[in-house]
Amino acid sequence: MSDLHELEQRATVELQACGDEPSLRTWHTKYFGDAGEVKTALNGIGKVPKEQRAAYGKEANRIKEVLNAAFDAALAAEKDRAIERSLTADAVDVTLPGRTVPRGRLHVATQTLREIYAIFADMGFQVYRTREVESDENNFELLNMPPHHPARDMWDTFHTTTPGVLLRTHTSPGQIHVMRQSAPNPVRVILPGMCYRYEQITTRSEIMFHQVEGLAVGEGITMADLKGTIQAFARRLFGQERQIRIRSSYFPFTEPSIEVDVDWPMTDPDAVRLTKGTGWLEIMGAGMVHPTVLRNGGYDPEKFSGFAFGMGPQRIAMLRYGIDDIREFWKNDLRFLQQF
């Protein structure tokens, strides 16, 4: 009997000392396994003198029940504690801000181009793409600049090693492509794309840059149509109150030729910088398509007329956002690009 009580006490103390599930399992094997102490005690019942046997058996069974129940309780409690521990250890702080996934975006030049496309699309202009590698013929000759024409000096040119093949210096040769494809039907297109000039790279000039050319050819097109189109464009891009100013200029492929300024209110703190103090901002060259160019495009200048213009969207973006170095556009510095 006293052996039984000693067993009960020892087992209870050991059970209480178990700090995790493995030690509980070990305890269980020690007392309840095939060769466990509780089983051994129960098996030993036959060796007990006959008159004590009943009391011994009863007590051994009681201890078995008690220890079993204590074990089940301890195991359940340990499982609860384990869940508790893992919740604290792997705690998620739901109040922390999420990690944002970095998102790409369109280049500021592309954004500006798309704004320009949208405005002209609303006015019925189609976008027409033409080649960047051009013939001297399209880039100069058919635009009314025969070889050695002094106006060629306005465009410093990258020539390729193939004679007569160059990188286009402006988008104007696209006019020839469109007209030859469309004549004698009327056309109303914009021709965006990259141009190249063999120039010193400075804060104001790059060797590659975008232009957006515009061309409208049809019957009865006048300078008033050019003015109205440019004015509508400037109001959409720069604001409703915009006025435009037209100055006479010279381009071999237009007659008359003009340059267009947009007024920039002097109340804008940037006005002096943007307009060099004049209050006017130059945005494009333009004019009425020269009869020779119309003829080169396949239109009879007696019957058809047209207007054309050419603008630099990088310049427009620089003015709008206060970008003071044109080299930023192709430098690929994310600190610059992510601002737009």
Given the rule CB under 6 A, which residues bind ligand DAH?
A: 170, 172, 213, 251, 254, 285-287, 308-310
Residues 6+ away with beta carbon under 8 Å from 124? 188
Residue 240: CB minimum distance to ligand DAH, A: 26
Tell me the C-alpha distance between 309 and 168, whole Å: 16
Residue 245: CB minimum distance to ligand DAH, A: 16
Query: Please, which residue, 38 or 143, has the CB nearer to ligand DAH?
Result: 143
Query: Please, which residue, 130 or 254, has the CB nearer to ligand DAH?
Result: 254
Query: Please, which residue, 11 or 112, has the CB nearer to ligand DAH?
Result: 112
Residue 309: CB minimum distance to ligand DAH, A: 5
Q: CA triplet 306, 145, 130: central angle to 5 degrees?
A: 60
Residue 118: CB minimum distance to ligand DAH, A: 20
Tell me the C-alpha distance between 230 and 227, whole Å: 5
Query: Please, which residue, 230 or 286, has the CB nearer to ligand DAH?
Result: 286
Query: Please, which residue, 253 or 329, has the CB nearer to ligand DAH?
Result: 253
Neighbours of 321 (CB within 10 A): 12
Residue 289: CB minimum distance to ligand DAH, A: 7
Q: Is the C-alpha dihedral spanning 47, 53, 59, 61 positive or negative?
A: positive
Tell me the C-alpha distance between 144 and 137, whole Å: 10
Based on the number of CB atoms within 10 Å of its own CB, is 150 exposed (0-12), middle (13-18) or buried (19 or more)?
Answer: exposed
Among candidate residues 173, 245, 171, the one with its CA nearest the CA of residue 212: 171
What three-state secondary structure class fits 300? coil
Query: Please, which residue, 178 or 286, has the CB nearer to ligand DAH?
Result: 286
Residue 270: CB minimum distance to ligand DAH, A: 25
Q: Is the peptide bond before 256 cis (omega within 30 degrees of 0)?
A: yes
